[in-house]
Amino acid sequence: MILRALASNNLAEKGAMADDLLQVDVELPRQSYSIHIGTAILDRMVAISASQAGAQHAVLVTDSNVKSLHADSVADSLREAGLRVDLLVIEPGESSKSLDVAGQLWEDLLATGADRTSLVVAVGGGVVGDLAGFIAATYARGIQFLQVPTTLLAQVDSSVGGKVGINLPAAKNMVGAFWQPTGVICDTQTLSSLPDRQFSAGLAEVVKYGVILDESFFAELEDNADAIWSREAAILRRVVARCCELKADVVGQDERETSGLRAVLNYGHTFCHAIESLTGYGQFLHGEAVSIGMLCASRLAVSMGRIDSALTDRQQQLLTRFHLPVAMPSLDPDQMIEAMQHDKKSQHGRLRFVLPCQLGRVELVEDVDLDLVRQSCR
């Protein structure tokens, strides 16, 4: 993993490099690729990336919220670059990550004449990226796709690493594949159009990286929380770049979760996915459920004597500054545990949790007392 155009480890100093186009290289054995991060780069970089992929036909997948904001202009830039372009639009929201919607998209791709030389371009948030990537991974036994994330959560997390998939009613992301994109284009200008709630949800994943991998980054988030919430462009670029750098390093070492290292990225997600499932994938945005889930996991670590409660307090204070929910909804703890049994980290019916042992470091823990899990769900 290489992060180019970085001169400082301090977010505020990095913010002075206002016009830099940053590049994070995700180095993998079979398909390495680059993440490009900048401001007002969307149309230009998508056209360049499509050309580098050798595509003559692009199928853009987006949702009805993003279509007029960003996808239409991306489609125009690809047409100007000489590509034949088709645009497929889904409904926004987690409910679109379903087998029914996937089936319709497969049919739509066939109707456009898409073949193995076509390029799927995912323009939108995490739902669009996960779904479009899954379609690309499975159509014609796999075609190329480009990630163009337009939400903070997608830019810092879901667009990087090649995890694509859809949900089952009882389990999130249970049907999917590892299918790496040809590239990722993160234009932080797209974040200016995000509603505050969506922007806030993305910040939960940003906080996660500090907790699991980088104590100094967590401290810098605390120091720059007001500037980040104000969406100052230069600092946002640096935040996105640092998150991509951290994730690329983990993915480069454990692309398909064979060693257990990549599981650290799921901090808070065992609780999070159970919350989302039990509330019907509609009450909470994913990042909001991550925020609550991280605090549940941190409380569990405290009850097991792994960390001091001060670490939980620091997380809660930062999440609160980013306007994220921190209170557990009224859910039956036994139903939570039952939902957790569907978590992909569980093995032979035994739950496994990613738990902090200090700020900037977490471990995958097995054989956890279920009574302690129940207590952490309250």
Catalytic residues: 141, 163, 205, 247, 257, 262, 266, 269, 273, 286
Closest CA to 180 of 140, 243, 122: 122
Alpha-carbon distance of 36 to 351, in angstroms, equals 37
Closest CA to 324 of 219, 220, 238, 207: 207
Q: Would you say 145 and 182 are in contact if contact means Cβ atoms under 8 Å apart?
A: yes
Interior CA angle at 299 toward 285 and 340, to 5°? Answer: 55
Query: Which run of H or of E encompasses 178?
Result: strand 171-178
Q: Would you say 66 and 124 are in contact if contact means Cβ atoms under 8 Å apart?
A: yes
What is the radius of gyration, based on Cα positions, of the chain?
A: 20
Q: Would you say 349 and 283 are in contact if contact means Cβ atoms under 8 Å apart?
A: no
Beta strands in 5-93 (DSSP E): 22-26, 33-38, 57-63, 84-90
Alpha-carbon distance of 102 to 131, in angstroms, equals 7
Task: Kindly give, in sequence order, each residue whose CB lies less than 8 Å from that of residue 310, ignoring residues fewer than 6 positions away.
Answer: none
Alpha-carbon distance of 229 to 91, in angstroms, equals 28
Q: Tell me the C-alpha to C-alpha distance, in Å, between residue 232 and each of 41, 227, 254, 280.
A: 17, 6, 33, 34
